A and B are shown apart, each in its own frame.
Chain A
Amino acid sequence: MKVSLTVNGERREADVWEGESLLFALREGLGLPGSKNACEQGECGSCSVLLDGALVCSCLVLAAQAEGHDVVTVEGFAEDGRLHPVQEAFAEAGAVQCGFCTPGLIVATADLLARNPAPGDDEIREALAGNLCRCTGYAKIFDAVRLAAARRA
């Protein structure tokens, strides 16, 4: 079946199988592998995207459910080759090691800062508790969130 949706501001069409997740459609059908496939059951947050502005795990959304909706993936954050401030902060703070969790964390952090421009440490930890990272122990990720927040202020 065909689904048509807006991805990173562009109208796109994808040919999907009925049981296919939005994550699979993005990665394999639309050439946007930035959203990652780590657990595929909504536990790790690596596949986080914004669906009509709401933070979701794209592995838990059927591609068919996204019909007519607006999706923003990590690939939609940089503009004209300029990094989004959250991306810049992650690169600068050393928040990236293997980087597999990074796209999901970029999306989740941008969502957090949109809701709460100056989050406290506990608020950061709670907001990002749904995004697993196996490399960093999270310390530099928290640094990156604080850095991005400070620069917005």
Chain B
Amino acid sequence: MGETVRRADAVPKVTGEFAYASDLHAEGMLWGHTLRSPHTHARIVELDISQALAMPGVHAVLTHADVPGKKTYGLDFDDQPVLAIDRVRYLGEPVALVAAEHPEQARRAAERIRVEYEPLEPVVDAERATQQEPLHAENPTAGHGFRDDPRPNVVRSIVIRHGDPDTEGEVSVSGVYELGLQDQAFLGPESGLAVPDGEGGVDVYVATQWIHVDRDQVAPCLGLEPEQVRIHLSGVGGAFGGREDLSMQIHGALLALHTSRPVKIVYSREESFVGHVHRHPAKIWAEHRATKAGRLVCVRVRILLDGGAYASSSTAVTANAACFACGPYRVDNALIESTCVYTNNPPCGAMRGFGAVQGCFAHEAQMDKLAAELGIDPVELRMLNALEPGDTLPTGQRVTGSFPVAEVIRRAAELPVPEAEELPRDPIRLPGGAGNTTRGQGIRRGVGFAVGFKNVCYSEGFDDACSAGVRLWRDAGGELAAEVRCAAAEVGQGVNDVILQVARTELGTENVALAPASSRGVGSSGSASASRLTWMAAGAVRLACGDALAELEAGRAEVDLERTYHHPRTTPLDPETGQVTGEKAHVAFVCAAMRVVAEVDVELGLTRVVWIGTAQDVGRALNPRAVHGQIEGGIAQGLGLALMEEIQTRDGLITNASFTDYLIPTALDMPPVDAELVEVEEPDAPYGAKGVGEPPTVVSTAAVVSALRAASGRELTRVPVRPDELAGLG
């Protein structure tokens, strides 16, 4: 524990043997295809499948009429039709399904499905959504203990009122910030294989993040009992929040049960862009009031999130955006309003950083602005206001446990910055790379800094739990042997290695195998999200191993047991004041600080991130190289949002649904990263370890843009930053 281990799946992944969801094959399988809406908002007047059914190789064409159970589903609220009923609310909404012998036959048959649409006025401007016709006749999220908000199209609104929000400061800075629509852009497209069991049930092998909640959404729509639907994790090609919601699970199962054949569905890249929820685009209005010495006295923030057509996890994102809107700073007086609205834009939900990314971009821009206004060093200003254990958050929650904000700031600020690079140089080292046509005369260099934080595990009273099972015995030679069962989704982050490390440590034997993750044979692990699985899976496996070992030592020949771990309880926020109703709304926090050196060619508006240094609070690093991998990869996603990543829409229609037009950082875009792990063990967490996946993504967008501002002298209030803004043309 605490030593780097080689991934258990490293060898099958480098040889090509590792089976991802899109690699699966079953004898006699058919291919499924989804017909999707070409409209952002339309009424379905007529749906005729007769021609499609007559196409060669076609075994089934299904519509909403063929959904035997519940017609709608959803991660938190069942507001999304399995197949559109009489209306479509976003581009790409599933309308009908085809199963055929060959995927091309399925695609061609889908083209023969005749759908007559009557286009409706789309709601595409989040700022106007609350004055437009409601997209959902009855608000799906009403009556769940949230603040009562009578405006149309409000998914959730939250107000946090803390101290006296009218407190004036000696100085004040204001800004309006915007973030575009970011895609998880995992490389493995949504895929799965559904296999009928011959007894009315179905097994679904799929790339997902939360096996049991998939099952609990799939079974009612099929009209089946939960035990009749088994979800099995197949190889996952990245997730980042985008696989929390269902993709092909119900559709594949419907086709498989209808045809009595295994059915495989693999999304294309274009389809993937409409096949999962995205990060919420946001607009944030912020005002920071401070003393002349730089102490924050009052922060006022208004956040508007575009949730798209369906709720997904938007209510939790709305709360997170509010809770972390002020950053990891002491703020005694605050007014924070966060609202998420329904629109006909692409649906949004979970993505790495989950509401904290948006707020961090705004609060860190504000801190830089305040530092400039006061003539104080930006790092010093942050240090002066850094939260520490014992302080109170704007929600009234007192910070306890491990939360080394000042330490991460200090360590990141101390990292040595590389020296400025001479000209001329190889063109690939210029801003914009080999595409830069200058001699570099317009290059300016800047150093940026940012700090951010977010919660670990689920919050607001959710009963966050994880189960694990252990079968323990002595083999022929008298050595201990074990098999561990856990439904935790290995999505690339390395949770399987943590599980094996814990089991081997607790049982004192290397002879431990991990069973494939499945909804059969073990209880829910909860989701691979919220930086929670290291904490939760370690807790569950440790508990199960400890009890199994005790029972074996009591004289049993073989033990097989399952245990469920819960983290300390949280409580909801008061719907009116946004204040905690118990001790804590979040169980614990993680923070990170980052220093970035960037070059901007101010004539061409091109950028080059030269170097990134970061210090991150990890509690305790259980598998240090995997922690560094999470930090480097998380930074890349935040850098992408800062510089290049945005799903472009026109009236809700996506115009860049490909990797040709939606750009993610390449090997040439990523700078070297120096990462320091700050280890202050979290007392409530097993082994003191906190999740590490999200903080780098939360902070890097803000830190990269801070460096671009320093280099260009421009305000840069919107990400991704566009070349024309950097060149002063925006």
Say which residue of B240, B268, B635, B667 sits within 8 Å of A128 (CB atoms). B667
Question: Could you say which of B17-25, B365-373, B413-421 contacts chain A?
Answer: B17-25
Say which residue of A38, A125, A138 sits within 8 Å of B187 (CB atoms). A38
> Given A36-B187, A135-B492: A125 and B269 within 8 A (CB)?
no
Question: Could you say which of B63-71, B74-82, B508-516, B625-633 contacts chain A?
Answer: B625-633
User: Using Cβ atoms and an 8 Å threshold, which residues of chain A touch B665?
Assistant: 137
User: Using Cβ atoms and an 8 Å threshold, which residues of chain B touch A58?
Assistant: none
Residue B575 is within 8 A (CB to CB) of chain A in the complex = no
The answer to whether B667 and A141 have CB atoms under 8 Å apart is yes
Residue B525 is within 8 A (CB to CB) of chain A in the complex = no
Q: Interface size (A, Cβ < 8 Å)?
A: 58
The contact string, 1 if C-beta is below 8 Å from chain B, for chain A 91-118, is 1101011111111001000000000000
The answer to whether B240 and A134 have CB atoms under 8 Å apart is yes
Residue B664 is within 8 A (CB to CB) of chain A in the complex = yes
The contact string, 1 if C-beta is below 8 Å from chain B, for chain A 30-47, is 011111111111011010
| Secondary structure dominating the interface of A | loop
Residue A65 is within 8 A (CB to CB) of chain B in the complex = no
User: Using Cβ atoms and an 8 Å threshold, which residues of chain A touch B633?
Assistant: 97, 134-137
| Secondary structure dominating the interface of B | loop
Nearest CB of chain A from residue B596's CB, rounded to whole Å: 14
> Given A75-B15, A101-B187, A131-B667: A122 and B426 within 8 A (CB)?
yes
The answer to whether B20 and A100 have CB atoms under 8 Å apart is yes
Closest residue of chain B to A145, judged by CB?
Answer: B667
Nearest CB of chain B from residue A57's CB, rounded to whole Å: 12
Say which residue of B6, B237, B668 sits within 8 Å of A36 (CB atoms). B237
Residue B672 is within 8 A (CB to CB) of chain A in the complex = yes
The answer to whether B20 and A36 have CB atoms under 8 Å apart is yes
User: Using Cβ atoms and an 8 Å threshold, which residues of chain B touch A132?
Assistant: 187, 659, 664, 666
How many angstroms from the CA of A91 to the CA of B17 in the assembled complex?
14
Residue B673 is within 8 A (CB to CB) of chain A in the complex = yes
Closest residue of chain A to B491, judged by CB?
Answer: A98
Nearest CB of chain B from residue A54's CB, rounded to whole Å: 19
User: Using Cβ atoms and an 8 Å threshold, which residues of chain A touch B6?
Assistant: 91-92, 94
Interface positions of B from 286 to 313, Cβ below 8 Å from A = none
Nearest CB of chain A from residue B504's CB, rounded to whole Å: 19
User: Using Cβ atoms and an 8 Å threshold, which residues of chain A touch B666?
Assistant: 129-130, 132
Interface positions of A from 52 to 100, Cβ below 8 Å from B = 73-75, 77-78, 83, 87-88, 90-92, 94, 96-100
How many angstroms from the CA of A140 to the CA of B10 in the assembled complex?
13
The answer to whether B658 and A98 have CB atoms under 8 Å apart is no
User: Using Cβ atoms and an 8 Å threshold, which residues of chain A touch B426?
Assistant: 122
Say which residue of A19, A98, A124, A138 sits within 8 Å of B237 (CB atoms). A98
User: Using Cβ atoms and an 8 Å threshold, which residues of chain A touch B670?
Assistant: 137-139
User: Using Cβ atoms and an 8 Å threshold, which residues of chain B touch A94?
Assistant: 4, 6-7, 625-626, 628-629
The answer to whether A125 and B14 have CB atoms under 8 Å apart is no
Residue B13 is within 8 A (CB to CB) of chain A in the complex = yes
User: Using Cβ atoms and an 8 Å threshold, which residues of chain B touch A139?
Assistant: 628-629, 632, 670, 672-673
User: Using Cβ atoms and an 8 Å threshold, which residues of chain A touch B268?
Assistant: 40
> Given A38-B187, A83-B14, A87-B14: A43 and B636 within 8 A (CB)?
no
User: Using Cβ atoms and an 8 Å threshold, which residues of chain B touch A124?
Assistant: 667
Nearest CB of chain B from residue A98's CB, rounded to whole Å: 3
The contact string, 1 if C-beta is below 8 Å from chain B, for chain A 1-38, is 00000000000000001010000000110011111111
Nearest CB of chain A from residue B546's CB, rounded to whole Å: 30
Interface positions of B from 551 to 595, Cβ below 8 Å from A = none
User: Using Cβ atoms and an 8 Å threshold, which residues of chain A touch B185?
Assistant: 134
User: Using Cβ atoms and an 8 Å threshold, which residues of chain A touch B104?
Assistant: 17, 19
Closest residue of chain B to A19, judged by CB?
Answer: B104
Nearest CB of chain B from residue A123's CB, rounded to whole Å: 9
The answer to whether B636 and A33 have CB atoms under 8 Å apart is no
> Given A122-B428, A122-B429, A138-B670: A102 and B492 within 8 A (CB)?
no
> Given A33-B16, A98-B186: A39 and B667 within 8 A (CB)?
no
Say which residue of A33, A46, A128 sits within 8 Å of B19 (CB atoms). A33
The answer to whether B269 and A134 have CB atoms under 8 Å apart is no
Nearest CB of chain A from residue B205's CB, rounded to whole Å: 14
User: Using Cβ atoms and an 8 Å threshold, which residues of chain B touch A43?
Assistant: 658-660
How many angstroms from the CA of A137 to the CA of B102 in the assembled complex?
36
The answer to whether B22 and A37 have CB atoms under 8 Å apart is yes
Nearest CB of chain B from residue A134's CB, rounded to whole Å: 5
Nearest CB of chain B from residue A111's CB, rounded to whole Å: 14
User: Using Cβ atoms and an 8 Å threshold, which residues of chain A touch B631?
Assistant: 137
> Given A41-B659, A100-B187: A140 and B15 within 8 A (CB)?
no
How many angstroms from the CA of A60 to the CA of B441 in the assembled complex?
39
The answer to whether A136 and B266 have CB atoms under 8 Å apart is no
User: Using Cβ atoms and an 8 Å threshold, which residues of chain A touch B10?
Assistant: 90-91, 96
Nearest CB of chain A from residue B394's CB, rounded to whole Å: 32
How many angstroms from the CA of A83 to the CA of B17 in the assembled complex?
12
User: Using Cβ atoms and an 8 Å threshold, which residues of chain A touch B428?
Assistant: 122, 125-126
The answer to whether B238 and A140 have CB atoms under 8 Å apart is no
Nearest CB of chain B from residue A101's CB, rounded to whole Å: 6
- Among A75, A90, A96, residue most surrounded by chain B Cβ atoms (within 10 Å): A96
Closest residue of chain B to A24, judged by CB?
Answer: B103
The answer to whether A46 and B187 have CB atoms under 8 Å apart is yes
User: Using Cβ atoms and an 8 Å threshold, which residues of chain A touch B23?
Assistant: 27, 33
How many angstroms from the CA of A125 to the CA of B608 in the assembled complex?
14
Closest residue of chain A to B267, judged by CB?
Answer: A37
- Among A37, A87, A106, A133, residue most surrounded by chain B Cβ atoms (within 10 Å): A37
How many angstroms from the CA of A88 to the CA of B6 in the assembled complex?
11
The answer to whether B493 and A83 have CB atoms under 8 Å apart is no
Residue B652 is within 8 A (CB to CB) of chain A in the complex = no
Nearest CB of chain A from residue B429's CB, rounded to whole Å: 7
Closest residue of chain B to A94, judged by CB?
Answer: B625
The answer to whether B186 and A134 have CB atoms under 8 Å apart is yes
Interface positions of B from 616 to 653, Cβ below 8 Å from A = 625-626, 628-629, 631-637
Closest residue of chain B to A127, judged by CB?
Answer: B667
Residue B494 is within 8 A (CB to CB) of chain A in the complex = yes
> Given A17-B104, A134-B240, A141-B667: A96 and B7 within 8 A (CB)?
yes
User: Using Cβ atoms and an 8 Å threshold, which residues of chain B touch A34?
Assistant: 15-17
- Among B239, B626, B632, residue most surrounded by chain A Cβ atoms (within 10 Å): B632
Residue B523 is within 8 A (CB to CB) of chain A in the complex = no
- Among A28, A99, A125, residue most surrounded by chain B Cβ atoms (within 10 Å): A99
Say which residue of B236, B491, B625, B658 sits within 8 Å of A41 (CB atoms). B658
Instruction: Identify the 4 closest CB pairs spanning chains A and B, nearest first.
Output: A34-B16, A98-B492, A99-B13, A100-B237
For the complex with contacts A97-B493, A125-B428, 16 further pairs of A-B residues with Cβ separation under 8 Å are A33-B16, A43-B658, A43-B660, A77-B15, A78-B15, A91-B6, A91-B10, A91-B11, A97-B238, A98-B237, A98-B239, A100-B237, A101-B187, A132-B187, A138-B632, A139-B632
